[in-house]
A = this chain, B = another copy of it.
């Protein structure tokens, strides 16, 4: 039985207990949220290295890091290294987006060492098995890939099942068309073969596999807007309506489900997007990519999107998929993975602070106390990225400098020193 099915029967599973402990909440909260379909615990029993987490609006906002090689960039070991970098930086879950050869071997290596929920996009492996010839895709191949991955222990899978053939015409009106890798492949397949989305033909079988292995379905948004101009358009919302139906379909099948979201969205439309998704998808956990709030900053899209992600998490998202500085330009390198995770932990935490999630502000209070006391070590320990903070402080500091100021203002002009004098501390 899936976590969803057990929650509906009121059972508290070991995974729910573990998630409750890591969250610092009563296990009953977890049961309630999962039973209502507002939270998921992606935890395939075959993923033995997993320490389960809960993803949902009632809990700490989580961060996903995408890793995975592209055909242009692949060397053995690099994705394992990136996984470790993402985990060290604090990623709550990981997706392996590898395409190309030998995907099963990479995935098994990663899964064996991965303590967090692990996700994939099965259509990537399906098309990779066809050496990139995506038009040869069949529903049966998709099903076979999903089955293989489920048996290997994948915890959640992006399925682009909401993108219908009729939506492609709507996307044709866009400036940037379809920017989801999976969405574009499927759209091309549907248009060429004049067939409906291939997930439909085998949907019941997919549900059986996901229920059997408790794979959480992450409903992909193949029509997420790829630029500000395309945001919140008819194509996006037509697909969203189908995603809302698919949420019910998953729930009816006893399968855990979350929903993916945009993309590129101007800052003023983020709240509306979050509220509309929550309404259309009946409160299912929302897993957003960014959103990027302006198109003009390639090289800095970890920042453009951390801005959007903070607003998204404040207004309704539960899981934030990072965007790295390499977005729109290249496959992320090690430094990009680190920069992306840190930017997103900032966004996630800033949103949790803003929605006054119990306990969220304690770390801010503690680091600020350390700041007031010039306790630099404590400040670094509490920092999101201790090494970077420590290095910046120490490398700028003169050898004989005191601990009660920094090079920003110097001793006489240090506001905290002068403030202490003024307020008598």
Task: Check A420/B383 contact, CB under 8 A, given A389-B298, A389-B299, A392-B326.
Answer: no
How far is A382 from B178 in the complex, measured between Cα atoms in Å? Answer: 22
Q: In the complex, which residues of chain B have a beta carbon less than 8 angstroms from the beta carbon of A230?
A: 368
Copies in the complex: 2
Cross-interface CB contact of A176 among B296, B368, B418, cutoff 8 Å: B368
Chain B residues whose C-beta falls within 8 Å of the C-beta of A414 in the assembled complex: 181, 184
Measured between beta carbons, the chain B residues less than 8 angstroms from A70 are 407-410, 413
Contact B297 A184 (CB under 8 A): no
Q: Is the pair B330, A178 in contact by a Cβ cutoff of 8 Å?
A: no
Beta-carbon contacts under 8 Å, A332-386 to B: 332-333, 342-343, 345-347, 349-351, 353-356, 361, 363-365, 367-369, 371-372, 379-380, 382-385
Task: Report the Cα distance A424→B306, complex, angstroms.
Answer: 33
Is A412 engaged at the interface, CB distance under 8 Å to the other chain?
A: yes
Stretch at the interface among A19-27, A108-116, A221-229, A280-288: A221-229
Partner of A124, one of B311, B353, B413, B421: B413
B396 and A71 form a contact (CB under 8 A): no
For residue A85, CB closer than 8 A to chain B, the reply is no
Docked CA distance A413–B71 (Å): 9
| Chain B residue, CB-CB nearest to A230 | B368
Which residues from chain B contact A133 at a C-beta distance below 8 Å? 412
Residue of B nearest to A69 (CB): B410
Asked if A297 contacts B385 (CB within 8 A), the reply is yes
* Docked-complex contact B134 and A73, CB < 8 angstroms: no
A266 and B354 contact, Cβ closer than 8 Å, known pairs A71-B412, A99-B410, A367-B296: yes
CA distance A297 to B89 in the complex (A): 12
| Min distance, Cβ A4 to any Cβ of chain B, angstroms | 31
Interface string of A284-307 (1 = CB under 8 A from B): 000000000111111110111011
Q: Which residues of B contact A331 (CB under 8 A)?
A: 396, 407-408
Binds B, one of A37-45, A46-54, A151-159, A185-193: A185-193
Q: Chain B's nearest CB lies how many Å from the CB of A389?
A: 4
Which residues of A are in contact with B by a Cβ distance under 8 Å?
70-73, 99-100, 124, 127, 132-134, 168, 171-172, 174-181, 183-185, 187-188, 190-192, 226-230, 266-269, 293-300, 302-304, 306-307, 310-311, 314, 325-333, 342-343, 345-347, 349-351, 353-356, 361, 363-365, 367-369, 371-372, 379-380, 382-385, 388-389, 392-393, 395-398, 401, 406-425
A-B pairs with lowest CB-CB distance, top 3: A132-B412, A330-B396, A227-B368
